[in-house]
Amino acid sequence: MSLYDLVKFLHVLTVVFMAAPLYNLVVVNERARFGKAHLQVDLYFENLIRGNAIRCYIFQLTALVTGVLLTGLQGPWTLLFTNRVLLAKLLLLLVLTGLLSVVHFSLQPRIDGLLAQAEGDAIPQAIAAQIGPLRLKRKRLAATCLFLVITTVLLGVQVFSRFAAWLTFVLVVLAALFAWRVYRSRIPYGWM
Ligand code: HEM
């Protein structure tokens, strides 16, 4: 096993751990089925989702470091800019970090601030009405992130040998359909 193989293993493992958008969407779809929850239950769900942001930053950073290392081990660093697939992967990773930052630095603190004002057994209607649109935005961003992660995986397997353009296109469409499906349902059977 070469150093390249070892770093590639780390890179792929990191990517597996970047599945947070998938499972966060499953969690929020489960919460919707739960109906009007006790405040403590709601806070528990929020803790699960909030905690994933920091983990996600760390996995994104690891994907970047291992990706840059793989590039350097394979050829000149300039490959990062001359290999269009690598450049696209790098840009997609930066977009993912940007979307995560919107959630972590803007949406989540606003949701947390509103939840902190809630008292009693359930979230009062006036607060729930303000949290709803923020959660919807966060859910849409999570579905977008899921689509971008799948697309980046699709590019990952094409860094040095490309698929036919039509096949990449079909797989990107399937990725979008899957992200849409996860957005709408709790996918009890994995793909469905
Ligand atoms: C969300 C971010 C990323 C995802 C999901 C991702 C995913 C993947 C996947 C699935 C592979 C396939 C490994 C294999 O062939 O078995 C791969 C390979 C690779 N990735 Fe990434 N990657 C990401 C970010 C990056 C970044 C930022 C870079 C460069 C700066 C990078 C550079 C590479 C390289 C050089 C390979 C090796 C390709 C090969 O040996 O065939 N990746 N990536």
Residue 38 within any structural domain of the chain: yes
> Are the C-beta atoms of 66 and 12 separated by less than 8 Å?
no
- Count helices and strands in the chain by DSSP H and E runs: 8, 0
The pick from 89, 92, 157 for probing ligand 1's pocket by mutation, whose C-beta has the most ligand atoms within 8 angstroms, reads: 89
Q: At what angle do helices 84-102 and 125-156 cross, to 10 degrees?
A: 170
Residue 192 within any structural domain of the chain: no
pLDDT score of 1:
78
Quote the domain boundaries for residue 15: 3-184
Position 120 confidence tier, pLDDT thresholds 50, 70, 90: confident
Q: Can you tell me whether residue 100 is helix, strand or coil?
A: helix
pLDDT score of 122:
86
**What is the arithmetic mean of pLDDT over 86-107?**
98
Distance 73 CA to ligand 1 centre (A): 13
Residue 7 within any structural domain of the chain: yes
Report the mean per-residue pLDDT for the chain. Answer: 95
pLDDT score of 121:
87
In short, whether 49's Cβ falls inside 6 Å of ligand 1 is no
> CA-to-CA distance for 143 and 55, rounded, in angstroms?
18
In short, whether 22's Cβ falls inside 6 Å of ligand 1 is no
Residue 133 within any structural domain of the chain: yes
pLDDT score of 37:
77
8-state DSSP, 162? P
Question: How many distinct structural domains can be found in the chain?
Answer: 1
For residues 159 and 41, which has the higher predicted lDDT (pLDDT)? Answer: 159
Residue 189 within any structural domain of the chain: no
Residue 40 within any structural domain of the chain: yes
Residue 120 within any structural domain of the chain: yes
Residue 48 within any structural domain of the chain: yes
**What is the arithmetic mean of pLDDT over 28-46?**
87
Q: Can you tell me whether residue 83 is helix, strand or coil?
A: coil
Q: What distances in angstroms separate CA 106 from CA 49, 99, 103, 114, 135, one per listed residue?
A: 14, 10, 6, 13, 12
The pick from 14, 60, 159, 160 for probing ligand 1's pocket by mutation, whose C-beta has the most ligand atoms within 8 angstroms, reads: 159
For residues 180 and 121, which has the higher predicted lDDT (pLDDT)? Answer: 180
**What is the arithmetic mean of pLDDT over 60-72?**
97
In short, whether 11's Cβ falls inside 6 Å of ligand 1 is yes
